[in-house]
Structure 1
Amino acid sequence: MIMPARRQRPNESPALVAFGRQMRRLREAKDVLQETIANLTKVSPAQVSRIENGKKRATRSFVKAVDDYLDAGGSLLSLWEDLNRDGHPVPIWFDWPQTESDAAALVTWEHTIVPGLLQTPAYARGFLTSDEAVEARMARQSILTREDAPPTVLIALLSEYVLDYLVTSPEVMREQIEHLIALSERPNITIQIVRNNGRPAGTGGAFVVATMEDRSEVAYMETTVRGITTDNPSDLAKLSESLRELRARALPEDMSRDRLKEALEKWT
Structure 2
Amino acid sequence: MGLRSGRILPYVAAVVAAVAAVLFVVAPGPLASTTTAHFDTEADLRVALGSAFVKYWDSGRGELSPDLAAITDYWLRYHCVKAVLASALFAALIVVGVRVWSSVLSPAGLAAKVVRSVAGVAVALLGLVALVLAMVNVQGAIAPLASLLPMLVTDTTDPELAVTLDQVKSLADSPGWHGVPAIDRMVDDFTRYHVAMAALAAAVTLAALTTAVVLWRRARRAEGRETRWALGSFAAALGVVALSMAVVAVANTSTATDPAPALLTAFHGQW
Larger radius of gyration: 2
- Asked whether the two chains share a fold, i.e. TM above 0.5, the reply is no
TM-score of the aligned structures, taking structure 1 as reference length: 0.30
Structure in which a larger fraction of residues adopt helix: 2
TM-score by length of 2: 0.29
Higher strand share goes to which structure?
1
